[in-house]
Amino acid sequence: MGPVLDNITVPVRYVLASGVSFGSKGDEQERIRANVSTVTARNANIEISAKVPSNHGSILKKDFRAIAAAVREVAALDRARSRKH
C-alpha cells in the first residue's frame, strides 16, 4: 500500500482506530498502525487527524465527531488552496 500512499498529492487526514479489530490475527492491526508514522513522514499530504478508541466496526458510530473534524480540516485546506489560485 506504500506506493499508493506515497503518490497522494492532495491533503488527506486519517482518523486512526485503536480498538481491537474483529477478524485480525495476532498483532496484525498494531503492526499496520505502527507503520502509519512511516507513511506520514514520507508524504506531507497525509496526517493523522485523531486516534480514537473505537475499532473499524464502530468508528462511525462512536467517533463521528473526530471524523467530522478531519473532514472540516481538509475542507478548510481546500478552501485556502482555492483562494491562492
Residue type, 36: V
**Predicted pLDDT of residue 68:** 98
CA angle 61, 64, 65 (to 5 degrees): 145
Residue with the bigger pLDDT between 26 and 8: it is 8
- Residue 52: other Cβ atoms inside 10 A: 19
What's this model's pTM, rounded to 2 decimal places?
0.80
Q: Is it the case that residue 23 has pLDDT exceeding 70?
A: no
pLDDT tens per residue, range 40-56? 999 999 999 999 999 88
Q: Which one is predicted more confidently, 57 or 12?
A: 12
3-class secondary structure, 14 = strand
C-alpha span between 57 and 33 (Å, rounded): 16
Q: Which residues pair with 14 in a beta bridge?
A: 48
